[in-house]
Amino acid sequence: MTSTDQSLEAIPTSERHRSGSKLLPVLLLLALAVALFTGSVFALGGVSGVMELVGMGTQAEPDARKTPVAAATPTATPDPTSSASTSLELPPGVSVDRAKRMYVEQIQSQANLKMMAEGDVSYFKVTDVNLNKGKDKAAVHVRVYFADRTSAPGVIQMFKSSGAWYVMSLTGLSSDKVLGSAESIAQGTIAQSKMTDKAVVAESGITTFDNGVINTMLAEQHANQGIATQIVGGKLTHADLGAPEQGVGTTVLPSKWTGKDATPVEGTITIVNKTVDPEDYIFLVSFKTP
């Protein structure tokens, strides 16, 4: 008999039966756990499924349908007054070259227009009006009086098309620097009268034109002929200017026009501000009555 058998013989039969009865439930529970685990493995797709369930597996790729879509880059809204988005809308008789020349001449009048827009001009007097032979161009000679009580000569260049008068430029208000066509002031001639509109534009070197600004200038002046017509006709010869009223992109100057044979007229001079590649310019839009 071996030592193991002897050990078993040494344990009373009743004790062995009690030990066996205690062990049996443990074995049954172990067997049940194994069975449940095996079923879970198959139900969840194998071992990897279980590992994923308990957080030990690799992360699944995100569903492409749920991936946030990046916001589209916003596109710039075209400026309604830019040359890229606006076509020219010209009044009767005004050619494209004449409209571009008007734009160029006003850019060359910047120093003088800024004096008006900034309130440096108190008043001005019309000293003479020279018409060309065709009576469709006028050089309106003025004496401009500034807030510092100094004065200087100037010329308002105007042209006529289909019965309407338009302001081309305002030159010669600075005695120490000649701008645009101011060199013709002393002779009292129509500035650059022998040059074609196309030649003036080409000589300026300006190649970018804001069609919206051109349209606004021409449309406003075409619709407001009262003051312009009386200036050329010699009836209105004196203009007092009030303090500039600044708006969004505009400057409005209250004005009172008088003359020897004219009824006093109250109105406004409107100037618009515009940035063009990338310079800041101002343009004389109109002499307007209420």
Tell whether 62 is covered by a domain: no
Tell whether 89 is covered by a domain: no
Do residues 27 and 105 share a domain?
no
Do residues 167 and 34 share a domain?
no
3-state secondary structure the chain: CCHHHHHHHHCCHHHHHHHHHHHHHHHHHHHHHHHHHHHHHHHCCCHHHHHHHCCCCCCCCCCHHHCCCCCCCCCCCCCCCCCCCCCCCCCCCCCHHHHHHHHHHHHCCHHHHHHHHCCCEEEEEEEEEEECCCCCEEEEEEEEEECCCCEEEEEEEEEEECCEEEEEEEECCCCCCCCCCHHHCCCCCCCCCCCCHHHHHHHHCCCCCCHHHHHHHHHHHHHCCHHHHHHHCCCCCEEEECCCEECCCEEEEEEEEEECCEEEEEEEEEEEEEEECCEEEEEEEEEECC
Do residues 103 and 234 share a domain?
yes
Per residue of the chain (290 residues), give pLDDT as tens: 544 444 444 445 444 444 444 444 433 333 434 343 334 434 434 433 333 333 334 344 333 333 332 222 232 323 334 444 589 999 999 999 999 999 999 999 998 899 999 999 999 999 999 999 899 999 999 999 999 999 999 999 999 999 999 999 988 875 544 444 334 333 334 445 578 999 999 999 999 899 999 999 999 999 999 999 999 999 999 999 999 999 999 999 999 999 988 999 999 999 999 988 788 999 999 998 87
Tell whether 172 is covered by a domain: yes
Tell whether 63 is covered by a domain: no
Tell whether 59 is covered by a domain: no
- For the question of whether the overall pTM of this predicted structure is more than 0.85, the answer is no
Tell whether 4 is covered by a domain: no
Do residues 23 and 122 share a domain?
no
Do residues 31 and 174 share a domain?
no
